[in-house]
Amino acid sequence: MPTGTQDRPTEVTAAGIARLAGVGRAAVSNWRRRHADFPKPVGGTETSPAFALREIEQWLRDQGKLAEVPLRERVWQQLVGHPAGAAAALRQAGAVLLLAHDRPAAWQQLRAAADDAELTGVLPAVLDAVLAARLGPGHPVRGLTREALAPSAALVRATGDLAAADGAAAAYDFLLGRHLDANPRQYTLTPPGPAALMAELAAVAGPSGTVLDPACGAGALLAAARERSAEESDAGERDAGEGEAGESDAPVTLYGQEADADLAALTALRLALGAPDAQVRVRAADTLRADAFPDLAADAVLVHPPFNERNWGHDELAYDPRWEYGFPARTESELAWVQHALARLREGGTAVLLMPPAAASRRSGRRIRADLLRRGALRAVIALPAGAAPPNGVPLHLWVLRKPGTTPPAPQLLVVDAAGPAPGPAAGRDKPDWQTVRTTAVEAWRTFDRDGGIEEQPGVRRSLAAIDLLDDDVDLAPARHLPPPAAAGGPAELARIRERLTTTLARTTALTPRPDGGAAGPARWPLTTVGELARSGALVLRAGGAGTAPAGGAAPAVLTDHDVIGGDAPSGTLPEAPASGPAEEPVLLQAGDVVVPVLGGGAVARVTDDSTAGAALGRNLTLLRPDPAALDPWFLAGFLRGTANNRQASSYASTATRLDVRRLQLPRLPLADQRRYGQRFRDLAAFEGALRLTARLGEQLVQGLHDGLTDGSVTAD
């Protein structure tokens, strides 16, 4: 540790000061200019100075500006401003939380009996013992020396308070989550949806298995495997009845390896706290060059490997025994990870890897792909929708592999397209429907794995003999081998679409509004703003984006900004609540609410009806709930859509336009007049909906006729 580090104060930025005081950053800048006694910077840069947290807290307290900040936030500020850096501080906090979790009595006795110097002097030995017991020898949580802990006494005690308030696991989930969110470019994370799907495909069942992730990152795949194992174990206990224990009492063992030493340490602590009944063995090293578990024969291997790596060890690993299916080219790092996963499986064990689509078709990897097929190791390739995991613009694949035994199965490959049809221009969806993806993928794999084959479903799934794929390219991309679905259901379905389109066009014509003439010039009504109406109680303003799904309970769908702009039904989902924390209540819509997109939506406002009521309000949306005795919702929504109104209420940040809903204006009119205008706006909304439906039916008919003509189901006569 550099000399003097332990004497440096915990630092906080202007953004952190704003959080502590419950104000915006502009207020902090004003305080610095107006108050001569405002603390001087102790670090940072001229444009982004850092201040001593203790001095800032004292100044805010003296000025009566120190808000009642949640304990979580105060601990986070101490952690992020720690002189040794956030990662080192989080490592220390996580070790203390593990001590408080595993040995609560010893921790309470220690913190009560010792002053700060004694506490940080005794802690290293105590923490080493706890970490060795939970993580085994050679664990990556290093650097917890007396010198390293000396400047951390306040953080250690505050972390203990947080463990008592929230629980150790929930406290660490919060702190680690904040750290990962604050450094998005530093870490590539596997989202919960793909992680859970991969664990399910690997059939991680029962509590006594062994699971390896040799590129474990932040531990999402191992955490999903542990959760899946726990679910299967609970189901098994219910089926077997109470009181029947046996081999299933042995704990699951989670093996992980990560090249980033800091991340390996944080992940080891996450798993130890989140899975107290599991054995956790995480090591810090480059897996391909320095395998930490060379003798492991795991039941399952789950991997989200780094993509497109050139410096993966090609030159020094030419004669490595793991390359049983062929030596990977320098450009085929993913096939090195595939063979590493197979090498660490027991016979019959399953590996699931998240792969870039190019790995299924690059010519440089065709020989290895061919051998994987011939020997029955590669069992399935499943195409996922774009946005499943980083890089989000690429539709990734899942490869399911099985370590061949002495009598491998007849070489067959399952190909599945779980992405579904590409959304049309009006679909407006920004993330996959994971329930549909999961159902498609899991049902196909389980049927294929049980029966050795599967009934073909055009456009979705197919079982192929390996010999049919062993051509010059050995291209395994599912889209290349799946027969297209029948064109829009065939000629009969096309006829039904045409009939609906004809009916809708007739309705659109009937709904076409007439201007009906008008006044000689613009009306000069007295105006009010949404902000003034909110202050007077005529309406309630709510911002969207908050809320989590309750654990084990039904969660409402989320109305997203894309749904509002596209006129679609709610399509989003709420994020899951922390395992040990309460669910956060979302804002739920009621019939008659007016919903306005605030980011890049243009002149859009939507009145919710009974079919949308009960949905949760999504991000980048503002809800206006009018008092029906004072405001007609259709009148409100109609005037909010005025082009000039939106222009004067919009702010511009680079290329994005953000709407300040409080500045939107509408005329002061009696309720009877509001209802007359409201009826016209309601008629316009019905006409707009008919136009949208016409466009969608037209798209379906045109594409269906193209497909029918090209596959022969529609003739050219």
Residue 612, classified by CB atoms within 10 Å of its CB into exposed (0-12), middle (13-18) or buried (19+), is buried
Residue, of 685 and 419, whose pLDDT is higher = 685
Residue, of 487 and 692, whose pLDDT is higher = 692
Q: In angstroms, what CA-CA distances link 108 with 111, 154, 394?
A: 5, 15, 50
Question: Is 532 in a helix, a strand, or coil?
Answer: helix
The pLDDT of residue 30 is 86
Residue 463 has pLDDT above 80, yes or no: yes
Distance, C-alpha 19 to centroid of its chain? 25
The pLDDT of residue 186 is 86
User: Which token pair is 575?
Assistant: 């994020």
Whole-angstrom Cα distance, residue 345 to residue 322? 12
Residue 126 has pLDDT above 90, yes or no: yes
- pLDDT-based confidence at residue 217 (cuts at 50, 70, 90): very high
Comparing 79-83, 525-529, 709-713, which segment has the lowest mean pLDDT?
Answer: 709-713
**Residues 253, 125: contact at Cβ < 8 Å?**
no
Q: What are phi and psi of 373, to 5 degrees?
A: -70, -50
Residue, of 332 and 492, whose pLDDT is higher = 332
- pLDDT-based confidence at residue 653 (cuts at 50, 70, 90): very low
The pLDDT of residue 72 is 83
The pLDDT of residue 377 is 95
Which residue(s) pair with 202 in the sheet?
none
Whole-angstrom Cα distance, residue 122 to residue 390? 43
Residue 240 has pLDDT above 60, yes or no: no
User: Which token pair is 296?
Assistant: 């492991």
Whole-angstrom Cα distance, residue 204 to residue 278? 14
Residue 620 has pLDDT above 80, yes or no: yes
The reported pTM is: 0.69
pLDDT above 90 covers a percentage of the chain that reads 45
Whole-angstrom Cα distance, residue 628 to residue 469? 66
The pLDDT of residue 645 is 78
Average pLDDT, the chain: 85
Model confidence pLDDT, tens digit, residues 59-104: 888 888 766 667 888 888 888 888 888 899 999 999 999 999 999 9
The pLDDT of residue 222 is 95
- pLDDT-based confidence at residue 6 (cuts at 50, 70, 90): very low
Which whole number is the average pLDDT over 281-306?
96
Distance, C-alpha 40 to centroid of its chain? 39
Model confidence pLDDT, tens digit, residues 340-385: 999 999 999 999 999 999 999 999 999 999 999 999 999 999 999 9
Whole-angstrom Cα distance, residue 700 to residue 692? 13
Whole-angstrom Cα distance, residue 686 to residue 321? 68
Minimal CA–CA distance to 190: which of 135, 253, 258? 258
- pLDDT-based confidence at residue 601 (cuts at 50, 70, 90): low
Comparing 46-55, 200-209, 537-546, 578-587, which segment has the lowest mean pLDDT?
Answer: 578-587
Residue, of 707 and 525, whose pLDDT is higher = 525
Whole-angstrom Cα distance, residue 401 to residue 380? 7
Could you give the strand order of the β-sheet that contains 11-13, starting from the edge strand earlier in sequence?
A: 11-13, 49-52, 43-44
The pLDDT of residue 277 is 85
The pLDDT of residue 669 is 93
Residue 586's identity, in one-letter code, is P
pLDDT above 70 covers a percentage of the chain that reads 88
User: Which token pair is 331?
Assistant: 């450009």
Residue identified by tokens 């410096």 is 311
Whole-angstrom Cα distance, residue 513 to residue 134? 72
Residue, of 1 and 493, whose pLDDT is higher = 493
Q: Concatenated DSSP letters for 184-230?
A: TTT--PPPHHHHHHHHHHTT--STT-EEEETT-TTSHHHHHHHHHHH
Which whole number is the average pLDDT over 484-503?
75
Residue 54 has pLDDT above 60, yes or no: yes
Which whole number is the average pLDDT over 632-655?
78
- pLDDT-based confidence at residue 487 (cuts at 50, 70, 90): low
Residue 202 has pLDDT above 90, yes or no: yes
Which whole number is the average pLDDT over 452-480?
91
Whole-angstrom Cα distance, residue 253 to residue 234? 17
Residue, of 160 and 655, whose pLDDT is higher = 160
Distance, C-alpha 251 to centroid of its chain? 28
Residue identified by tokens 């798993």 is 271
Residue 250 has pLDDT above 60, yes or no: no
Question: Is 81 in a helix, a strand, or coil?
Answer: coil
